[in-house]
Structure 1
Amino acid sequence: MNRALTVARLQFVAWPSVIGWPWGILTLSFLINLALFTAIGDTDVEPTTGALASIYVVMFIACINTITQDFPFAIGLGISRRSFYLGNVLQFGVQAIAYAAVLYLLAVVEEATGGWGINLRFFGLPFLWVENPVLRFLGFALPFLLLGFIGIAIALVFKRWGVNGMLTLSTAALVVIGGSAVLATWRGWWPAIGGWFADQSGAALLVGWPALLTLPLAAVSYLVIRRATP
């Protein structure tokens, strides 16, 4: 467990990747949207933006970078694959909780100030808003974990099977996604698919489904890293 804690602390040495870039880009996105909608002025439509996704995208990239760069260094120091994996899970779990807490508070401030005085919805998107405080907090945290484990899984495929593994994964994803799109178009399923998403609550989309997908990804990633080469 001590080795896992060492790995967790190791991640914060490169703080620009895990703290600076995510919050810097999110802050820039927020200021640009705030200035833009302030300049537009009053409209009949409530200003809503999806720029909150920027912090999740940056964290996704950071998780890939953790495996591709830090994994060889950690193994070179004599840290086991198990300790490295557990340390990363611990670090990323704490990070997701802390970041979700900040986003939750910003959403509360946004609501209390009437959308920063211009009715802007940046942190609390209306179509994904969750009334229950606990589920709302998890709605910020679970997507971090899901994207993080997707990033870890992708990086581990590269470390385990190299370029051929990445090409195989990309081809499989293209076949599955493209084939599903062709099938849905052929069978006329798009209205039903759109209706299914429309019927899902914010809690289901941000908490339920991410949790359901994160658990198998975490298990598969652990099995892959046991045979991954630095």
Structure 2
Amino acid sequence: MTALVSSRSVQTKGAPRSREILRILRLHAVNPSIFFGVPLLILSAAWAVSSIIALIMSGAGASAEDLQGMRYSWAVLSPQWYLMVVGVQAVGLTFSFALGFGATRRDFWLGTSLMFVATSALFAALIASLVQLEIATGGWGIGVHMFNALWFGTNGWLMDFYSAFALQLLVLFLGASITTVYMRWRMRGMIVVLFLAAAVLPGLLAIVTLGGHWPDVINWFGAIGMAGTFTVLLALAGVCAAAGYLVIRRATPR
């Protein structure tokens, strides 16, 4: 009997936490409009506005070369700003609740990270596919450049997917990691983070500018290419994820 109890205890303690992590994933997916609905609405609105602008330009006699200027509108990145808010909400609105029904901080962060990865992958696949559809249809038949813009559409579906995935994952983890600072140290922590950001970023720009290092920076990014550039962004997302986990381990729900 003792051996049986000990065996069950070992199995319980050694059991994988995948069920708890998936429970956190389902918690985030309870309201799909936060992660999927609103970003799709923003993307659809940007596409509608871009299409109307293209129709107006075409009606005014704009040529296909004139419509090429829409490649620099940044409309394809319009959901990114909201996704940072999603990263903030994913921690700020669910952390205390998740701990309340027995989740550990580790489970919460892993489940949240899994949701971020899934969201980024789905949207990256959607954007990369829409880029190809826009190219194939000649800008949806009206010459609009909504998805086939900026760097998208120049290196194939896989690179479009990778770049969109890295960028969205960085935005989500950046918002989440900043929120962990608030959860751990409240306003004092936020003030310190804002102060450091206000001091470090302009300081780095000043060093590069005054030292005349911009050509070196540009040459370095040119050397690593687009894949290398977005790999750097993906690495920054990993840094934010690791930092957020270290901070949230000591966070106290209130």
Any idea what the Cα deviations from partners look like across 1:165-207, whole Å, max 9, x if unmatched?
A: 111001101111111232233223345445555666332333x
Aligned partner of 2:169 in structure 1 is 145
* 2:87 corresponds to 1:63: yes
Q: Distance in 2 between matches of 1:127 and 1:196?
A: 18
Checking the alignment, whether the CA contact within 8 Å between 1:160 and 1:228 is kept in structure 2 is yes
Consecutive unaligned residues of structure 2, counting only runs of 5 or more, are 1-17
Listed as ranges, the matches of 1:168-207 within 5 Å are 168-194=192-218, 196-197=220-221, 201-206=225-230
Select between 120-129 and 144-153 the one with higher mean Cα deviation.
Answer: 120-129
Any idea what the Cα deviations from partners look like across 1:29-50, whole Å, max 9, x if unmatched?
A: 1100110121011233312221
TM-score (norm 2): 0.83
* 2:41 corresponds to 1:17: no
Checking the alignment, whether the CA contact within 8 Å between 2:50 and 2:145 is kept in structure 1 is no
Consecutive unaligned residues of structure 1, counting only runs of 5 or more, are none
Q: Secondary structure at the match of 1:125?
A: coil
* 2:239 corresponds to 1:216: yes
Select between 195-204 and 110-119 the one with higher mean Cα deviation.
Answer: 195-204
Q: Secondary structure at the match of 2:94?
A: helix
Paired positions, count: 229
Cα pair distance change 1:128/1:220, threshold 3 Å: same
Aligned partner of 2:76 in structure 1 is 52
The Cα of 1:26 is off from its aligned counterpart by 1.1
Select between 217-226 and 189-198 the one with higher mean Cα deviation.
Answer: 189-198
Q: Distance in 1 between matches of 2:153 and 2:204?
A: 29
Aligned partner of 2:21 in structure 1 is 4
RMSD (Å), alpha carbons? 1.9
Residue 229 of structure 2 aligns with an amino acid whose one-letter code is L
Q: Distance in 2 between matches of 1:163 and 1:119?
A: 49
Checking the alignment, whether the CA contact within 8 Å between 2:128 and 2:158 is kept in structure 1 is no
Q: Distance in 2 between matches of 1:138 and 1:64?
A: 23
Q: Distance in 2 between matches of 1:135 and 1:77?
A: 41
Q: Distance in 1 between matches of 2:220 and 2:20?
A: 45
Residue 201 of structure 1 aligns with an amino acid whose one-letter code is G
Aligned partner of 2:128 in structure 1 is 104
Residue 32 of structure 1 aligns with an amino acid whose one-letter code is V
Q: Distance in 2 between matches of 1:178 and 1:78?
A: 43
Select between 113-122 and 141-150 the one with higher mean Cα deviation.
Answer: 113-122
Q: Distance in 2 between matches of 1:220 and 1:124?
A: 34
The Cα of 1:127 is off from its aligned counterpart by 3.5
Checking the alignment, whether the CA contact within 8 Å between 1:156 and 1:225 is kept in structure 2 is yes
The Cα of 1:143 is off from its aligned counterpart by 1.1
The Cα of 1:153 is off from its aligned counterpart by 0.7
Aligned partner of 2:44 in structure 1 is 27
Of 83, 105, 119, which aligns to 2:107?
83
Any idea what the Cα deviations from partners look like across 1:106-142, whole Å, max 9, x if unmatched?
A: 1110010112223322213253545254333212211
Percent identity (aligned) = 29
TM-score (norm 1): 0.91
Q: Distance in 2 between matches of 1:129 and 1:197?
A: 19
Select between 18-27 and 126-135 the one with higher mean Cα deviation.
Answer: 126-135
